[in-house]
Structure 1
Amino acid sequence: MNQHKLHSVLESMRLPNGAYVASTSDDYDYVWIRDVCYAVMPYLNSKCTRYEKAYHALLSLLRKYEWKLDIHTEQKPQYLHEYIHARYTRNLEEIPVEWGHAQNDAIGIMLYGIGQGILNGKPILRDKVDLRIVQKLVNYLECLEYWESPDNGMWEENVEVHASSVGACVAGLKAVKTLVDVPEYMIENGANTLNKLLPCESETKETDLSLLSLIYPLNVVTRQQAIQILDRVTGRLERKRGIIRYEDDQYYNEGSEAEWCFGFPWLGLCYEQIGELDKMNEYWSKTMSITPETGKIPELYIGGTDIPNKNTPLAWSISMAYQLQVRMNEMQENVS
């Protein structure tokens, strides 16, 4: 697979405002905070401006809805529409339909991405207003008491305390604590909850694809915890064409759970994170086995088939595969 092909597909989903649509399908032709953060990860160490422009779009979005932050830094949301919304139109406007907007991991990964960008010399914060928004996001998580706050999680589904959400907030708060005021107890409480939950994702899920985020990119677990997570995910969730999100997942389930394409490259990136390069190479090969010649990697293959769903290409899938390909190329160059 040509690296430029994956890059070209990813770029086809970038909007003029700097954000990314999750997919070009009718179902996913929207901007999700989380998906933008994952989509733009390949550009963290790049000289181009795509990384900061994506975060400028997200910060502009939150500036528009700062009034909502003002309310919910003082009182907890009672209804899902009161939370910071998870998805928006291409013009970064809220969508007035019911949705599982309680997604603390999206706020956590955004804070993490801001901190990482600044650490890498990116001009993420344009002015004092951007900095004020970052502070209010911290205050929002404090008001929520995120370490014990049930949310919809990465998959926007059942409301419970999710390890992947708590871990994202811990990593995000650590990433911005040199920029704004982050009470230390917030990080400590989150870390305590995370250690109690792991290696499970939640009370109802002993393992879940979303747990990989705690290894890569968040790097918020110990090596031993990472190995436990990886052993459970590969042992119980891995299938021929991808990784199922969790056991008995009903999304696109036509006799068996849907097999998510970004699971293979994500595992490769996680194994690189813990230094197991043979396993990294193994999952790169598996990624290539399910990547179409066009480079348009789908969201998933319908369980037990080679039929992709309509959310093709998925920006998150392309981003994960692109990041792993860059690392594989770098590794091969170092060997030669």
Structure 2
Amino acid sequence: MRDQVQQVLDTLRQANGLYVASPSNTYHYVWVRDSCYIALSELERDNGRFERTYHSLFDIFRKYMWKLEYHAQHRPREAFEYIHPRYSANLLEEVREPWGNAQNDAIGAFLFGVGEGLRRKKNLVRDEQDWRVLSLFVRYLTTLEYWHDADNGVWEENREVHASSIGACVAGLLAVRPFVDVPWEPIQQGLSSLYLTLPRESVSKDVDLALLSLIYPYQLLPVGLAEVIVERVEAALLRTHGVLRYPGDKYYSEDGREAEWCMGFSWLGICHALLGHHDKAAEYLERSQEVMTAAHEIPELYRPVSKTPNENTPLGWSHAMWLILYDMLHRDGRTSTAD
């Protein structure tokens, strides 16, 4: 089954190594966050795909170097001033329509992936311009004072301070610190703000699927707190066809009930695997298979009443999370019915 899930994901891969989020009209764009998470499914492989994805991300940021240089010194305030998280699939240019473009977690995800790749001796940074991009992003996040910046968050919605965004930035800065100059103060500020916010995601969200990012991929939390986050997500958000993003989510809701996100199963499974709960992780792998279509496509979500997938099927992020969980279980020599 792994090959079929991988083949579906490959249909979303562009010649430049980036991924459109989904073939649907609304998602046929390149999101920085999605490409970074999808690339993690290639991190342990020596096929050059991880490097290709990041080289193209560097190319995007080099195209907008003028913007990065300016806002490394002048804090952005309006959403359009932030380094954009979403680009056209063909020209890799900013999508200009009004959007929740203040997404600090996407920058953190990029830095984290670069740091993880460099730690594994992957040839990610090609020249001085790439190194400059990294240094400017460190200054950008510092000037932004990300630790108390109200951004649009992982779900691109209302602006407030999000624990998952702070955590992504902390993890990104820590990941590149062995390779570029990163002052300790912005990391310390981020950690302080993060632990003052947890276990909440934000003022308006007591529990949120995005909090799982602090466990995977970022692994920022001590075991006890990670267990608490997983337990809270399962207690409040776990459903039959997936996991809610947060209580009261209006996106694809029906009759006052929230949509069920398929990648939540794999994400919880990955977290359980990291916590040593391999039987529970294998159970979530099976649950992820149960929501696949006959063509091995994993949707973004299921509608809560009609129990049908939405049009963002397949979703690249969903496939990547399943592949990561599958590989974790099989790399550890664990068996599951996923074979």
Residue in structure 1 matched with residue 25 of structure 2 by the alignment: 26
Q: Separation in 1 of the partners of 2:306 and 2:135?
A: 46
Residue in structure 1 matched with residue 78 of structure 2 by the alignment: 79
TM-superposed CA distance for 1:332, in Å, is 4.2
Q: Separation in 2 of the partners of 1:197 and 1:310?
A: 35
TM-superposed CA distance for 1:39, in Å, is 1.0
Does the residue aligned with 1:40 lie in a helix, a strand or coil?
Answer: helix
Residue in structure 2 matched with residue 167 of structure 1 by the alignment: 167
For structure 2, list consecutive stretches of 5 or more residues without a partner in the other structure: none
Residue in structure 2 matched with residue 186 of structure 1 by the alignment: 186
Does the residue aligned with 1:178 lie in a helix, a strand or coil?
Answer: coil
- TM normalised by structure 1 equals 0.97
Does the residue aligned with 2:41 lie in a helix, a strand or coil?
Answer: helix
Q: Separation in 1 of the partners of 2:139 and 2:19?
A: 27
TM-superposed CA distance for 1:276, in Å, is 1.1
Identity of aligned residues (%): 46
Residue in structure 1 matched with residue 218 of structure 2 by the alignment: 218
44-53 or 299-308, which moves further after superposition?
A: 299-308
- The aligned amino acid for 2:28 is D
Residue in structure 2 matched with residue 120 of structure 1 by the alignment: 120
Residue in structure 2 matched with residue 313 of structure 1 by the alignment: 314
Residue in structure 2 matched with residue 45 of structure 1 by the alignment: 44
Aligned residues: 334
- Residues 273, 329 of structure 2: 8 Å contact kept: no
Residue in structure 2 matched with residue 56 of structure 1 by the alignment: 55
TM-superposed CA distance for 1:334, in Å, is 7.9
The answer as to 2:289 corresponding to 1:291 is no
Does the residue aligned with 1:199 lie in a helix, a strand or coil?
Answer: coil
For structure 1, list consecutive stretches of 5 or more residues without a partner in the other structure: none
Note the alpha carbon deviations across 1:40-76, whole angstroms, 9 max, x for none: 1111010101101000111000000000011101111
Note the alpha carbon deviations across 1:6-29, whole angstroms, 9 max, x for none: 111111111011110000000000
Residue in structure 2 matched with residue 154 of structure 1 by the alignment: 154
- Residues 146, 166 of structure 1: 8 Å contact kept: yes
The answer as to 2:241 corresponding to 1:244 is no
Note the alpha carbon deviations across 1:232-284, whole angstroms, 9 max, x for none: 10000001000000001000011210000000001000111111112111211
Residue in structure 1 matched with residue 301 of structure 2 by the alignment: 300
Note the alpha carbon deviations across 1:103-139, whole angstroms, 9 max, x for none: 0000001000000011112101011110100000110
Q: Separation in 2 of the partners of 1:9 and 1:267?
A: 22
164-173 or 220-229, which moves further after superposition?
A: 220-229
Tell me the C-alpha RMSD between the 2 structures: 1.2
Residue in structure 1 matched with residue 108 of structure 2 by the alignment: 108
Note the alpha carbon deviations across 1:273-305, whole angstroms, 9 max, x for none: 111112111211211111223111110001133
- The aligned amino acid for 1:6 is V
Q: Identify if the C-alpha distance between structure 1 residues 17 and 64 changes in structure 2 by more than 3 Å, giving closer, same or farther.
A: same
Q: Separation in 1 of the partners of 2:21 and 2:62?
A: 22
TM-superposed CA distance for 1:179, in Å, is 1.2
Q: Separation in 1 of the partners of 2:184 and 2:21?
A: 34
Q: Separation in 1 of the partners of 2:146 and 2:332?
A: 39
- Residues 329, 335 of structure 2: 8 Å contact kept: no
- Residues 278, 329 of structure 2: 8 Å contact kept: no
Q: Separation in 2 of the partners of 1:158 and 1:137?
A: 23
Q: Separation in 2 of the partners of 1:295 and 1:323?
A: 16
